[in-house]
Structure 1
């Protein structure tokens, strides 16, 4: 904890806090600490229990994803309110867990929008890697009905799912583009030069162009 405190940069904290992340640790330096520590599940659990955002990020880098039980992961996603912690928990831990599909189904329609966003993130993963048995048309129905009014993090995850359906599944591409154009979610999102816009029609168009290049 003392080492993490020494990595704190007040200017970086100011930037991160604008995005809801209450830490000021450079993530490259945090990854260097994790690389030195290697996998240490017990230390990861202790770091997580501190509740400190930087400590939790480090915990997610050094933990053993398959060591967590289903209920442990459910509890963790419900207390991981900092966006970066939530993102790393889902992408670095839950996606590698044998409980990922069970949790995807449980979280998908959870009344807590942050938990539901985790369910949508896992669904996007399946849209790309294992779409068998997914009702893609049904997913588009939900996106069409609910994405516009969804809270920010849930909206982002639903938009990602919309874009991935359009990118990966040509038979649904026209409808995905139509939904994106009508809802205009993230249409004006500030996107650095050289990066792809998260606006679904632009995102789909760019990725399909690359596939066909």
Structure 2
């Protein structure tokens, strides 16, 4: 795609996303730190129509617009990003939804995922570190070989209660995954969750599982035995 065509296409898509903006959606998202106003089902419909286009994804990301960046993450080719490129994107992704989609839809599918996990895990920026913990949770559940799960529990026990919100959430997810997937460590994971009480009072809609680790672990283990 030539730069001129790309610029025109980006402008066209930005205009379309603007027409889909809904102030009510923005108000809801703002409570969670997000600044986009487009219904995500509608956004996915746009992505389905546009189809995969990595060059266009790069151009959309460069706009800095949150809805455009979410669209970019849906139409990109994850394996075409360099490690350095993904690191720069992560550090520039400050809204929760862009951060979550970048890690979940792109980084996890990248050949650089493990290297970035190790790099981000101890980053002094808690938002960046949360991405490292999110990738660690993925490994805890799917490929735990080589991970020191006891050390992870030590870190969670020592640091989770006072961690910044997004990092705390990611550490709590890791705690729950250890308890769910590793029976030999389940009682310790539950005990840590009970002692710290992180997210114990988190408002949870009916028919949804609480993020409070002891409750989350119990519910998911019970489903495994049904």
TM-score computed with the length of structure 1 as normaliser: 1.00
Match of 2:158 in 1: 145
Match of 1:112 in 2: 125
Match of 1:66 in 2: 79
**Structure 1 segments unaligned to the other structure (5+ residues):** none
Match of 1:158 in 2: 171
Q: Deviation per CA, 1:46-90, whole angstroms, max 9, x where unpaired?
A: 000000000000000000000000000000000000000000000
* Partners of 2:116 and 2:188 in 1: CA distance: 28
Q: What aligned pairs does 1:5-24 form with structure 2 within 5 A after superposition?
A: 5-24=18-37
Matched position secondary structure for 1:148: helix
Matched position secondary structure for 2:36: coil
Q: 2:143 aligns with which of 130, 134, 145?
A: 130
Q: What aligned pairs does 1:33-112 form with structure 2 within 5 A after superposition?
A: 33-112=46-125
* Partners of 1:205 and 1:17 in 2: CA distance: 32
Matched position secondary structure for 2:162: coil
* Partners of 1:153 and 1:124 in 2: CA distance: 14
* Partners of 1:194 and 1:11 in 2: CA distance: 24
Whose Rg is larger?
A: 2
Instruction: Give the root-mean-square deviation of aligned CA atoms.
Output: 0.3
**Structure 2 segments unaligned to the other structure (5+ residues):** 1-13
* Partners of 1:46 and 1:89 in 2: CA distance: 16
Matched position secondary structure for 1:125: helix
The size of the alignment, in residue pairs, is 213
